[in-house]
Chain A
Amino acid sequence: MEEQIFFHRTGARTGTALGPVAGLRPALFAHFDDLAKLRYDYPLVLLAADGGEPAIRPLSGIVDELLHEIAAQGIAGERLRRNVLRIERTIRTRLASGERGTLGQLWSIASDELEPLGGEPFAQDASQARGALRRDGVLLGCDADVASRFSTHVWRAVQERKAGAMRRTIDTLALRLADLVRADFLRSGAGRHAATLRAGVGTRHQDDFDFALMATLLSAPSGGSALSESRRRRIEATVGALQAQRFFEAEVPFVFAFDRVEDALAAYRDRLRPMADLVRAIAVAELELRGAYDEAKHDEYFAQLDGRGLAPEDRALFPDYLVRLGPGATGADGRARIIEGLTTEAPLKILFVTDDVFGRGAQLATTAMGLGEAFVLQSSAAWLYRAADRVRAAFEFRGPALISVFVPARGTDAALPSYLVAAAATESRAFPTFSYDPSAGADWAHRFALGDDPQPERTWPEHDLAYADPAMQRVGARVAFTLADLALCDTRQSDDLARIANGSGTEHLRPVAAWLEAPPDGTVPFVYAVDADAALHRVIVDLPLAQRTRRCAEAWRRLRELDELKRERIAAAAPASAPSLVPVAVAAASEAAPAAGEATPDAPASDEPYIETPRCTTCNECTGVNPRMFAYNENKQAFIKDPSAGTFKDLVDAAESCQVAIIHPGKPRDLNEPGLEDLLKRAEAFR
């Protein structure tokens, strides 16, 4: 017992009561011996981009769809289903044993392998299923290079969609500019030369005309060239620049994938000038094609336009730079470079792969979020597929992005399948899935989002552990999965853990999760582990690891708070329900309107003549009566411009001739106007 406490405090093993943890795995792994039997995310199929949408699907998903499509109910269908699933399992096993290739290739290999065992019906099923398998792509297992291949696939699809659109724009502009020059040539005298005219008719008709004479006759309306020499030169230079670009589906394309931040930055800086040249070319082309290029206004602007002068919108049209960094880059200066890369204007998409959740690299994503304007995504290899949309978002994001992925290293994982270790890293809160998207809103609440980590409401996910005690009685326990449990998966952490030899006292032990919650009481934290024979062991956690576990729990709680904050905000800003479709008739309208008879509030006093201008239909009646008195406003609707510019009679005549009766003559100004009695009577109608 003293030994236990001593180890916990000092990490030093004394005596025989404590043993090494080599060969032990977290107790919860007991169920997962052979992953190839399980149908989980992996292997993934990297499907060829479909309409620019990067497509990645789990093999199991593809197979299920396939079966849904071809396997009917009934015996034959069932046989087909089984055979296809056998093929799927064989593919998994092959991959696990290091086989590589496309789904199609491994499908054939697998069915060849199974055929001798399966016989005639199998061969038939296999080929039928193979035929129904329409889309193909490289198979991707959860291996050391999984993060790199996964991200590269998505990145490439996003880039290709961008590039395709831009290339079409560039081609169109180049052609339209060429058209512009040709149209000018044909308009010019040269375009009417006999030779040109001759070449323009059907070959067998070239002797039917006197083209010299035609040229003379047509010379008159030729109008000459409209292109100034400077403009022609500018257009030709622009076409040249468009064709010389190396960014989009070019003959000699630039490279955009790198292994070092500094190389990517250097490349970006070198390309600022070519970028500016292309932006200039496109802009000039667009101006020229609208005939809007004004040398006085634009020459100087374009002369001094360089890479730094580019608007972010324009820079965003160009390809992004993918930087793939391995665990090697975790050194202090490595991290410093990453941060530098994320803070420049260069659109670097940095993929950072770590194989050590206990090292500094694990904090990189959290640090990067602090930068504020970079897109950040963290996920373990096991969660990648579930985070696929966020990976795409990171590449579509306008600006730098960091994708930090945990991929267990071979050799350090106590020979556990790396998918299992990666999943455990997420499970243990050591490497939770989350993203930070600056384009999603102004504040953290909108920008930050947790991934679908297990049992988010808890500090640690909990599971039932059932085992048999020395008396062979079934014992059930609810155990949390913590960072300390994860440590069992990483031989680099072995020194912080010690196995209790069978028969030693366990009364001072407390599960690490509970231990962290409880006040210090002299107990010792432990985790459950199983050995190769699935025998249960208790493993003591030393103080440093216990502390790391505590910090891990705190870090997780902070992330969770951010995420809850988000939920509250979104709830607060719930959209109003759609407008109802019930007839409103007068009812609804009358809210806005006073009851009939009431004078409309905005109507002027009826002494002054006025026109309900908004109702004027521009019929020219009043302006016909007296153009000085009546005029049209900016919407070509009539108003009384100058009441004194005419007689009361003009007003009354206009009011009577107005089609929509919107002219109100008011009271006469000149009480001596002849025929006033009669006019006033007529005006009554328009009060």
Chain B
Amino acid sequence: MTMQVARDAGPAPAMTKTVTRLDEHIVEIISDSGEGAQRCGQAFAGIAARSGNGIWTVEIIPAEIQPPARSVAGASGNRIRLASKPVANGGDDVDLVVAFNEQVLIGRVLAGELRAGATILLEDMWRAHRDPSIAASYATTVDDLRARGFRVLEIPMETECRKLVPDPRRGKNMFVLGVLCSIYSFGLDVAREQVALTFGKKDPKVIATNVKLLEAGFEWAEAKCDFKYEIPTMAVAESQVVMTGNAALALGVLASGMEICAMYPITPATSASHYLSEIFERVGGIVHQAEDEIAACTFAIGASYAGKCAVTITSGPGFSLKQEAIGLAVMAEIPLVVVNVQRGGPSTGQPTKPEQGDLLAALFGTHGDAPKVVIATSGIEDCFYTMITARKIAETFNTVVIVLSDASLATAQQPFPRPVFSEEWLAPPVDQSAVAPGAKPYDWDATTGVFRRFIPGQPGGMHTVTGLAHDRDSHVAYDHESNEEGLRFRSLKIAALQRTLRCPAVHGEETGDLLVLGWGSTKGAIEEAVDRLRAEGRRVSSLHLRFIQPMPSGIGEIIKGFSRVMTVESNWSDPTDHPLIDADNRRYSALAMLLRSRYLVDVDCWTDVSGRPIKPASVAEALRRKLGEAPR
């Protein structure tokens, strides 16, 4: 579906080139870490978004902090999916990749990230490298790549940059940015603005130099590239913002009115706290880096207890450490928001890689019966609003709210409409009014289990909260009646909330051959896959859950409308094709397990734990397989 257009390519020696019009393209920019591919990618994404393309970016992060130069595993950079309409995931295979050396490229090729026949723009300085082994490796790799059918374009990045700056290694990323702007037909003005923005804090000289490099790259491509792409843009009607999921989380905390965040450094959650610290230094508020995860959680509980609902932000291992404290908040019914930006597990697992492995830990990780609310964020924008909703629920129901995000949302970027602030979002002021004589600190409402908390400073409300079983007076009580009463009402609260939840809308028809259920960051990929199959005429629909505990009513009814049901998740489930695995011992993925137990329906699951953001194509393929199977 490409069309040929002839057009003049501006300043450089005029040459007629074909401009290919595309619906979408996936671009990767990779280098050794420290060479600025990250920055280049972000800037490119910014330019695309400003120009009105739908975008989704994925950070490519090497496992090590400072991997050796030119190492296959050391690729650092950015993947940008550009489209003529909004996109909600990183897409499938790469169409065009810019590599600063051939080694990092090899890594991506072996990982199967490149589409067959993809275009490769490669720094050519290595060909003439004084170290013969390097020169040789480069030459053979290029030949090999061509043999594999890739279109390899060698670019004298360093040679060209040296004409403008003394140290071309720093700065070639802006040259590349220029090249890409030319290739994807972006206006130089927008690009210049973006560069100014990228180096905003630095002095004008720096910006000027980088703009020069940008323009040089642009002109080089105009003159030397015989192809050009154009991805139709949408008119940006309302004001949009582009940010990462973790930035959205931090801004959500601010917008929710929470003033205290206690945390302990852990990947990939920390960047949210970094940004929140910056914000609070300006606006007021405290990010407390505690001595450990347990202290962070108990500190937050203390702050909440004293009247200001607090948040603690962590990832898998830290989340496990907080479990006892979470139990305390549940038992004492103190509002608390816990954010878990999930990563690969168990144990230290894969700190930088996405996985949805903590769902059951969130629901059941605390010893004893510890009912709490579990919400999953399903996109960048959702990260922002979820914090507001989480705080509101936590304080309204005196409950713990666990927010599940994951590494793929943490670093991904996507534009969304600029939020419009509402004062109603903010936490209520600390209530210091006198407590009515005879009122009890745990005066559970018979129908809902909800009660009004007494906050220190309220005259007449003096009592001692405790993690021990207690009665309505908060007195330690070992008798079974009191214990059962507490258990009943703490559970009832969640039921009360559940009653107020509306069932999410089905994506697609209300009935069909296959219903796909998902939660969290996989939403974009699943719905795109469903759309592709529906375009093929398959009767597939999907349902994405935000509230997993409690789960809204109506899901059971929806399931009845489909002959096949499966979940798609990014956590472990036993493959059915292994000789040892059968219906009796198969370990299902987290959501499937929950649905099976609640609805007594044979819910199948397909999961991906590759450590990469789940891809629409692989989901689509899984759905096709499922459709091939007999209905339940």
A interface with B by C-beta (< 8 Å): 176, 178-180, 182-184, 186-187, 196-197, 199-205, 207-211, 213-214, 217-218, 220-221, 223, 226-227, 289, 291
Are B432 and A289 in contact (CB-based, < 8 A)?
Answer: yes
Contact of B422 among A199, A226, A291 (CB under 8 A): A199
Given contacts A183-B433, A196-B424, A204-B382, A213 and B443 within 8 Å (CB-CB): no
Are B392 and A201 in contact (CB-based, < 8 A)?
Answer: yes
Q: Nearest-CB distance from B388 to chain A (Å)? A: 4
Are A209 and B381 in contact (CB-based, < 8 A)?
Answer: no
Are A187 and B500 in contact (CB-based, < 8 A)?
Answer: no
The CA of A455 and the CA of B459, in the complex, are separated in Å by: 66
Stretch at the interface among B30-38, B445-453, B518-526: B445-453
Are B501 and A209 in contact (CB-based, < 8 A)?
Answer: yes
Considering only residues 373-402 of chain B, those with a C-beta below 8 Å from chain A are 381-382, 384-389, 392-393, 396
Are B434 and A226 in contact (CB-based, < 8 A)?
Answer: yes
Are A201 and B434 in contact (CB-based, < 8 A)?
Answer: no
10 pairs of A and B residues whose beta carbons are closest in the complex: A202-B385, A179-B429, A199-B424, A214-B500, A202-B388, A183-B431, A202-B389, A201-B389, A220-B445, A186-B428
Known: A204-B381, A209-B502, A218-B450. 10 other contacts (CB 8 A): A180-B433, A182-B428, A187-B433, A187-B452, A201-B393, A202-B386, A203-B420, A205-B386, A210-B501, A210-B502
The CA of A201 and the CA of B387, in the complex, are separated in Å by: 9
The CA of A184 and the CA of B445, in the complex, are separated in Å by: 20
Report 15 cross-chain contacts, Cβ distance below 8 Å, ordered by A residue: A179-B430, A182-B429, A197-B396, A202-B385, A205-B385, A205-B386, A208-B502, A209-B500, A209-B502, A211-B500, A218-B396, A220-B448, A220-B450, A221-B443, A223-B452
Contacts of A221 in B (CB 8 A): 443, 445, 448, 450-452
Given contacts A201-B389, A202-B385, A203-B385, A210 and B500 within 8 Å (CB-CB): yes
B interface with A by C-beta (< 8 Å): 252, 381-382, 384-389, 392-393, 396, 419-420, 422, 424-425, 428-434, 436, 443, 445, 447-448, 450-452, 459, 496, 499-502, 504, 546-547, 552
Q: Nearest-CB distance from A163 to chain B (Å)? A: 22
Contacts of A209 in B (CB 8 A): 500-502
Contact of B432 among A178, A210, A217, A291 (CB under 8 A): A291
**Nearest residue, chain B, Cβ from A185:** B428
Q: Nearest-CB distance from B392 to chain A (Å)? A: 5
Are A205 and B389 in contact (CB-based, < 8 A)?
Answer: yes
Given contacts A202-B384, A202-B386, A203-B420, A217 and B450 within 8 Å (CB-CB): yes
The CA of A199 and the CA of B388, in the complex, are separated in Å by: 11
The CA of A524 and the CA of B432, in the complex, are separated in Å by: 86
Q: Nearest-CB distance from B422 to chain A (Å)? A: 6
Q: Nearest-CB distance from B386 to chain A (Å)? A: 6
**Nearest residue, chain B, Cβ from A195:** B424
**Nearest residue, chain A, Cβ from B385:** A202
**Nearest residue, chain B, Cβ from A201:** B389
Are A207 and B432 in contact (CB-based, < 8 A)?
Answer: no
Are A183 and B428 in contact (CB-based, < 8 A)?
Answer: yes
The CA of A432 and the CA of B589, in the complex, are separated in Å by: 94
The CA of A203 and the CA of B430, in the complex, are separated in Å by: 24
The CA of A51 and the CA of B447, in the complex, are separated in Å by: 58
The CA of A505 and the CA of B445, in the complex, are separated in Å by: 116
**Nearest residue, chain B, Cβ from A191:** B428
The CA of A183 and the CA of B455, in the complex, are separated in Å by: 12
Contacts of A211 in B (CB 8 A): 500
Contacts of A291 in B (CB 8 A): 432-434, 459
Given contacts A183-B431, A208-B502, A217 and B424 within 8 Å (CB-CB): no
Contacts of B393 in A (CB 8 A): 201
The CA of A182 and the CA of B257, in the complex, are separated in Å by: 14
Are B546 and A208 in contact (CB-based, < 8 A)?
Answer: yes
The CA of A642 and the CA of B392, in the complex, are separated in Å by: 60
Contacts of B499 in A (CB 8 A): 210, 213, 217
Contact of B504 among A179, A208, A213, A289 (CB under 8 A): A208
Q: Nearest-CB distance from B154 to chain A (Å)? A: 47
Q: Nearest-CB distance from B405 to chain A (Å)? A: 14
Contacts of B552 in A (CB 8 A): 208
Are B447 and A217 in contact (CB-based, < 8 A)?
Answer: yes
Are A217 and B448 in contact (CB-based, < 8 A)?
Answer: yes
The CA of A200 and the CA of B428, in the complex, are separated in Å by: 10
The CA of A184 and the CA of B504, in the complex, are separated in Å by: 34
Q: Nearest-CB distance from B115 to chain A (Å)? A: 34
Are A207 and B502 in contact (CB-based, < 8 A)?
Answer: yes
The CA of A388 and the CA of B502, in the complex, are separated in Å by: 73
Contacts of B443 in A (CB 8 A): 221
The CA of A465 and the CA of B94, in the complex, are separated in Å by: 100
Given contacts A179-B430, A183-B429, A200 and B424 within 8 Å (CB-CB): yes
Q: Nearest-CB distance from A214 to chain B (Å)? A: 4
Contacts of A179 in B (CB 8 A): 429-430
**Nearest residue, chain B, Cβ from A202:** B385
Q: Nearest-CB distance from A188 to chain B (Å)? A: 11
Q: Nearest-CB distance from A96 to chain B (Å)? A: 43
Contact of B430 among A183, A197, A210 (CB under 8 A): A183
The CA of A182 and the CA of B430, in the complex, are separated in Å by: 10
**Nearest residue, chain B, Cβ from A184:** B433
Contacts of A176 in B (CB 8 A): 429
Q: Nearest-CB distance from A365 to chain B (Å)? A: 50
The CA of A217 and the CA of B450, in the complex, are separated in Å by: 9
The CA of A217 and the CA of B496, in the complex, are separated in Å by: 7
Contacts of B396 in A (CB 8 A): 197, 218
The CA of A213 and the CA of B447, in the complex, are separated in Å by: 13
Contact of A208 among B451, B459, B501 (CB under 8 A): B501
The CA of A383 and the CA of B452, in the complex, are separated in Å by: 68
Contact of B425 among A186, A197, A200, A204 (CB under 8 A): A200
Are B385 and A204 in contact (CB-based, < 8 A)?
Answer: yes
Are A180 and B502 in contact (CB-based, < 8 A)?
Answer: no
Contacts of B419 in A (CB 8 A): 203
**Nearest residue, chain A, Cβ from B379:** A204
Contacts of A210 in B (CB 8 A): 499-502
The CA of A289 and the CA of B432, in the complex, are separated in Å by: 8
The CA of A289 and the CA of B431, in the complex, are separated in Å by: 10
The CA of A182 and the CA of B428, in the complex, are separated in Å by: 7
The CA of A203 and the CA of B547, in the complex, are separated in Å by: 16
**Nearest residue, chain A, Cβ from B504:** A208
The CA of A208 and the CA of B386, in the complex, are separated in Å by: 12
**Nearest residue, chain B, Cβ from A211:** B500
Contacts of B430 in A (CB 8 A): 179, 183
Contact of B431 among A178, A187, A218 (CB under 8 A): A187
The CA of A210 and the CA of B496, in the complex, are separated in Å by: 11
Q: Nearest-CB distance from A234 to chain B (Å)? A: 15
Are B500 and A217 in contact (CB-based, < 8 A)?
Answer: yes
Contacts of A220 in B (CB 8 A): 445, 447-448, 450
The CA of A209 and the CA of B428, in the complex, are separated in Å by: 20
Contacts of A182 in B (CB 8 A): 428-429
Q: Nearest-CB distance from B138 to chain A (Å)? A: 49
Contacts of B252 in A (CB 8 A): 202
Contacts of B387 in A (CB 8 A): 202
The CA of A184 and the CA of B552, in the complex, are separated in Å by: 31
The CA of A28 and the CA of B499, in the complex, are separated in Å by: 100
Q: Nearest-CB distance from B544 to chain A (Å)? A: 12
Contacts of B424 in A (CB 8 A): 196, 199-200
Are B429 and A218 in contact (CB-based, < 8 A)?
Answer: no
The CA of A538 and the CA of B532, in the complex, are separated in Å by: 118
Are B433 and A226 in contact (CB-based, < 8 A)?
Answer: yes
The CA of A30 and the CA of B492, in the complex, are separated in Å by: 100
The CA of A197 and the CA of B422, in the complex, are separated in Å by: 12
Contacts of A223 in B (CB 8 A): 436, 452
The CA of A197 and the CA of B425, in the complex, are separated in Å by: 10
Are B452 and A208 in contact (CB-based, < 8 A)?
Answer: no
Q: Nearest-CB distance from A430 to chain B (Å)? A: 58
Q: Nearest-CB distance from B88 to chain A (Å)? A: 14
Contacts of A201 in B (CB 8 A): 385, 388-389, 392-393
**Nearest residue, chain A, Cβ from B388:** A202
Q: Nearest-CB distance from A272 to chain B (Å)? A: 33
**Nearest residue, chain B, Cβ from A196:** B424
